[in-house]
């Protein structure tokens, strides 16, 4: 039986109701020309053409000794045995005159609603823009710190709540975002994707879709050819380390970020889990060996993609963040349906979705384990509009698994984790597509 990796919380109440939405209008890249010759020259200079600024930073988590690990119920909330490799948080801030977005990646299992709001509140208290759009994601390592979730199902896979751990995560995350904000400089960026071989399998259907692409976005200072940040996403579940591991670790995403930063010392690397719901890592080698192998291969592919980028100045950043409702909770324990009145008390009734565009790049922020087939729909829609997509999972909320209806009907682990019934996955995907369309119409 698989460990209860994400059995946390979900959403309920049928229908799609927009609770909150922030849409930023892309601005014209045209610079007003003034008659004075000096201002004409200034208007055409790279300094004015690059309207978007960017900054990046990272922080380590200062955790209490013995913090339980999050990821597998079989660990039973037991104390961890120390630190195998650093765990922490990385932030990239993108901003123009009207919009500020923070893309954040933490070495965590999931992001729950309480953590998201605590970080947002801390950032406001530290003087960052009140309308900052926070895209806060977990790498989904199954060997990161636990004890930061208060909900019943979170405690199964994380151990009992410890306010010291929660505050340590909030503190480090807020510091990273604030430092990134204060270090902003005018920037250029570009996105590229490329395949890998022999790293990913469909863990639900042998003949099902497989997403083995590495996607990178490089962010560069205007005056430098070396990146300040590299955003990398990959869809293999970060489960190269099993419940046997009792040391804190970023799993293979930690190796990816370490190796990218070694190759580009100027850069902060941010890893995001892609559409991982039905995507597993091909595990060859013993224990830590397979973690290193997958991480190094993904990093090598990412580095090659970055080296081939042609970064361009970007005139605007646009962001939309919506809270939506989904069908009532339909929790199941094996083949037994849990009464809806009880399911509704155990899971949330809303979910936060995010779409960010910068130049020809679009980031889709999904609050779940998103299936590869649904991620493929998002990517195809973006490419039809001339955009280069990057799917980010476990963003700003967690509502379980988002899977196609056909997969939901298979009565497997992944479908049992789809808390809101057979149509919720498509509803989340459809809403993200509509959000992108609305952003592009502005």
Residue 30 C-alpha from the chain's centroid: 32
DSSP run (H or E) holding 93: strand 88-95
The residue that leads in pLDDT, 42 or 155, is 155
- Residue among 18, 112, 14, 8 at smallest CA distance from 326: 14
Q: In the numeric block, which tokens belong to residue 233? A: 């996403």
Please tell me what DSSP assigns to residue 6. S
Kindly state whether residue 14 falls inside one of the protein's structural domains. no
Kindly state whether residue 239 falls inside one of the protein's structural domains. yes
- Confidence category of residue 36, pLDDT binned at 50, 70, 90: very low
Judged by average pLDDT, the poorest of 22-26, 78-82, 121-125, 138-142 is: 22-26
Report the pLDDT value the prediction gives residue 441, as an integer from 0 to 100: 73
The residue that leads in pLDDT, 65 or 284, is 65
Please tell me what DSSP assigns to residue 74. G
Domain interval for residue 242? 53-440
Report the pLDDT value the prediction gives residue 429, as an integer from 0 to 100: 98
Conformation bin of residue 125: beta by default, left when phi > 0, alpha when psi is -120 to 50:
alpha
Q: Which residues pair with 221 in a beta bridge?
A: 187
Report the pLDDT value the prediction gives residue 243, as an integer from 0 to 100: 97
**Cβ(148)–Cβ(158) below 8 Å:** yes
- Confidence category of residue 346, pLDDT binned at 50, 70, 90: low
**Cβ(433)–Cβ(378) below 8 Å:** yes
Conformation bin of residue 421: beta by default, left when phi > 0, alpha when psi is -120 to 50:
left
- Confidence category of residue 341, pLDDT binned at 50, 70, 90: very low
Residue 76 C-alpha from the chain's centroid: 26
Report the pLDDT value the prediction gives residue 284, as an integer from 0 to 100: 86
Q: In the numeric block, which tokens belong to residue 422? A: 């057979």
DSSP reduced 3-state for 153: helix
Report the pLDDT value the prediction gives residue 329, as an integer from 0 to 100: 64
* pTM (two decimals): 0.87
Task: Compute the average pLDDT of residues 153-158.
Answer: 90
Average pLDDT, the chain: 87
Conformation bin of residue 107: beta by default, left when phi > 0, alpha when psi is -120 to 50:
beta
pLDDT tens per residue, range 294-332: 999 999 999 999 999 999 999 999 999 999 998 766 655
Kindly state whether residue 289 falls inside one of the protein's structural domains. yes
Kindly state whether residue 12 falls inside one of the protein's structural domains. no
Kindly state whether residue 406 falls inside one of the protein's structural domains. yes
Kindly state whether residue 103 falls inside one of the protein's structural domains. yes
- Confidence category of residue 153, pLDDT binned at 50, 70, 90: confident
Task: Compute the average pLDDT of residues 255-270.
Answer: 99
Rounded Cα gap, residues 92 and 104, in angstroms: 6
**Cβ(213)–Cβ(225) below 8 Å:** no
Rounded Cα gap, residues 382 and 365, in angstroms: 14
- Confidence category of residue 334, pLDDT binned at 50, 70, 90: low
Domain count, the chain: 1
Rounded Cα gap, residues 148 and 379, in angstroms: 32
CB atoms within 10 A of CB 300: 16
The residue that leads in pLDDT, 409 or 110, is 110
DSSP reduced 3-state for 196: coil
CB atoms within 10 A of CB 134: 26
Does the pLDDT of residue 252 top 60, yes or no?
yes
- Residue among 199, 430, 215, 404 at smallest CA distance from 324: 430
Report the pLDDT value the prediction gives residue 151, as an integer from 0 to 100: 86
C-alpha dist (Å) from residue 191 to 67, 109, 206, 230, 418: 37, 26, 30, 10, 31
Kindly state whether residue 45 falls inside one of the protein's structural domains. no
Kindly state whether residue 203 falls inside one of the protein's structural domains. yes
Report the pLDDT value the prediction gives residue 440, as an integer from 0 to 100: 80
Angle at 430 between CA 359 and CA 236, to 5 degrees: 75
């Amino acid at each position: 039986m698989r460990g209860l990796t994400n059995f946390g919380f979900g959403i309920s109440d049928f229908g799609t109701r927009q609770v909150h939405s922030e849409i930023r209008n892309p601005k014209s890249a045209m610079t007003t020309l003034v008659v004075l010759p000096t201002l004409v020259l200034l208007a055409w200079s790279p300094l004015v053409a690059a309207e978007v600024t960017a900054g990046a930073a990272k922080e380590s988590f200062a955790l209490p000794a013995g913090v339980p690990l999050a990821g597998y119920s079989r660990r039973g909330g037991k104390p961890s045995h120390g630190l195998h490799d650093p765990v922490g948080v990385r932030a990239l801030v993108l901003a123009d005159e009207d919009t500020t977005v923070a893309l954040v990646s933490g070495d965590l299992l999931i992001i729950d609603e309480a953590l998201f709001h605590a970080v947002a509140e801390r950032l406001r208290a530290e003087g960052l823009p009140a309308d900052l759009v926070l895209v806060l994601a977990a790498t989904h390592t199954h060997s990161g710190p636990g004890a930061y979730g208060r909900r019943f199902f979170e405690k199964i896979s994380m151990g009992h709540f410890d306010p010291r751990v929660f505050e340590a995560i909030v503190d480090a995350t807020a510091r990273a975002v604030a430092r990134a904000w204060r270090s902003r400089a005018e920037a250029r960026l570009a996105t590229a994707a490329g395949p890998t071989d022999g790293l990913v399998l469909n863990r639900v259907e042998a003949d099902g879709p497989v997403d083995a692409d590495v996607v990178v976005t490089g962010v560069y200072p205007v005056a430098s050819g070396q990146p300040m940040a590299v955003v990398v996403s990959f869809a293999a579940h970060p489960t190269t380390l099993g419940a046997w591991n009792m040391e804190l670790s970023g799993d293979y995403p930690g190796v990816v970020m370490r190796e990218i930063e070694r190759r580009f010392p100027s850069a902060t690397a941010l890893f995001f889990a892609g559409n991982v719901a039905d995507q597993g890592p091909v595990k060859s080698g013993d224990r830590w060996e397979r973690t290193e192998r997958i991480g190094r291969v993904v990093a090598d592919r990412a580095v090659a993609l970055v080296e081939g980028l042609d970064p361009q100045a970007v005139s605007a950043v646009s962001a939309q963040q919506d809270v939506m409702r989904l069908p009532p909770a339909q929790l199941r324990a094996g083949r037994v349906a849990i009464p809806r009145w009880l399911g509704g008390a155990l899971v949330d009734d809303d979910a936060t979705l995010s779409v960010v565009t910068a130049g020809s790049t679009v980031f889709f922020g999904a609050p779940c384990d998103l299936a590869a087939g649904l991620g493929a729909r998002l990517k195809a829609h973006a490419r039809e509009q001339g955009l280069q997509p990057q799917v980010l999972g476990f963003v700003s909320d967690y509502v379980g698994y988002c899977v196609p209806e056909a997969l939901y009907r298979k009565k497997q682990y992944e479908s049992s984790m789809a808390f809101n019934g057979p149509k919720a996955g498509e509803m989340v995907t459809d809403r993200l597509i509509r959000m992108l369309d609305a952003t592009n119409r502005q």
